[in-house]
């Protein structure tokens, strides 16, 4: 009897099927992970590190200009009407400002608002949001002074009961530039 068992074909034994099942599961899972990776690419990685590094210096120049102009801003976001009310103080009062509310992890939640200077009130800028914004955001305010672009940039927690204050924190990364 044992001689007949040894002569039976491979597909009648259990262990080859277990090994084939493990290999088939590995191939299936690998293909599904590749499909997920191709259909949902990570867009937070920048391949051009040299250009990004040069951009950091340009950004710091813009932030230093805002600091030199003694700019401070208070931003109020109205949840009901979607109105953005910004109060800007300092030595720059451009006709328009650009306010960017940038989500650190979800680009589809980024918002760009163009703010127009109020004709009646000095330092007041008004714009309109299309939808409600809440949570952690990078808040970027861009303006111009004598053909130079200035920038205020801070990380803030956006909530309906709190105004955002820009220019109240020390400039990160500029310690070496001041010396």
Domain spans of the chain, in order of start: 2-38, 70-168
Taking the C-alpha atoms of residue 117 and residue 166, their distance in angstroms, rounded to an integer, is: 17
What is the structure's pLDDT at 130? 87
Chain-centroid distance of CA 146 in Å reads 29
CATH topology for 70-168 is Immunoglobulin-like (2.60.40)
pTM summary value: 0.66
* Residue 96 CA neighbour count, 13 Å, CB half: 6
What is the structure's pLDDT at 105? 85
What is the structure's pLDDT at 165? 92
For 15, residues 6+ apart whose C-beta sits below 8 A from its C-beta are none
What is the structure's pLDDT at 159? 85
What is the structure's pLDDT at 51? 57
What is the structure's pLDDT at 3? 52
Q: What is the pLDDT along the chain (179 residues), one digit of tens a residue?
A: 455 555 789 899 999 999 999 999 999 999 999 999 999 877 665 555 555 555 555 668 888 888 999 999 999 998 888 899 999 999 999 999 999 999 888 888 899 999 999 999 999 999 999 888 889 999 999 999 888 999 999 899 988 778 999 988 777 665 555 54
What is the structure's pLDDT at 1? 45
């Amino acid at each position: 009897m044992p001689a007949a068992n040894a002569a039976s074909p491979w597909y009648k034994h259990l262990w080859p099927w277990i090994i084939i099942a493990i290999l088939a599961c590995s191939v299936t899972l690998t293909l599904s992970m590749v499909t997920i990776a191709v259909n949902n690419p990570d867009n937070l990685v920048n391949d051009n590190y040299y250009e990004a590094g040069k951009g950091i210096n340009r950004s710091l120049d813009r932030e230093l200009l805002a600091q030199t102009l003694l700019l401070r801003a208070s931003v109020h976001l109205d949840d009901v009407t979607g109105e953005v009310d910004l109060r800007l103080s300092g030595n720059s009062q451009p006709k328009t400002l650009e306010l960017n509310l940038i989500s650190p992890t979800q680009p589809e939640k980024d918002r760009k608002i163009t703010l127009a200077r109020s004709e009646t009130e000095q330092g007041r800028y008004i714009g309109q949001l299309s939808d409600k914004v809440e949570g952690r955001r990078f808040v970027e305010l861009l303006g111009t002074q004598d053909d130079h672009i200035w920038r205020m940039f801070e990380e803030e927690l956006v909530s309906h009961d709190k105004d955002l204050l820009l220019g109240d924190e020390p400039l990160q990364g500029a310690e070496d530039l001041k010396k």
